[in-house]
Amino acid sequence: MTDGHHAYRLIRHEMPHSIINHEIEYVRGDVHTQGIENYWSIVKRSIYGIHHHVAENYLPSYLSERDYVFNSRKIADAERFAALMGQTRGRLLWYCRTPQVENPYA
């Protein structure tokens, strides 16, 4: 589902696609753009308020983080954290590989 911008017209050749013309209507049954507009406002707010700048090579990671938070927004923070920690087995990534006295786990 997209708004009526001409750049989205070619999408219909790739997948099912519904268009909302905001000059006429904002909702037509189940067709609307509020969900995606809400998602992008949350992404932009996190960049401006949390990260302040996003390097292009890290953009997929930031978007994955926002996807996870957005898709789990209806559960409690503690449940979201527990679910996230349940997915980390075998995926631990150490950014500092030099053993240091103050961090015996590095």
What is the enclosing helix (H) or strand (E) of 86? none
Is residue 91 over pLDDT 90? no
Model pTM greater than 0.75? Answer: no
Total domains in the chain come to 1
pLDDT for residue 99: 62
- Which structural domain range is residue 79 located in? 2-85
The answer to whether residue 37 is domain-embedded is yes
Q: Is the pLDDT of residue 76 over 90?
A: yes
* Structural domain includes residue 91: no
* 8 Å CB contact between 43 and 59: no
First to last CA, the chain: 46
Closest of 61, 50, 63, 46 to residue 91, by C-alpha = 61
The reported pLDDT for the residue numbered 6 is 81
> For position 75, what pLDDT does the model report?
92
Given a contact cutoff of 8 angstroms between Cβ atoms, the answer to whether 33 and 2 are in contact is yes
Q: Is the pLDDT of residue 69 over 60?
A: yes
- Tell me whether residue 20 is in a domain: yes
Q: What average pLDDT does the structure give for the chain?
A: 82
Q: Is residue 100 a part of any domain in this protein?
A: no
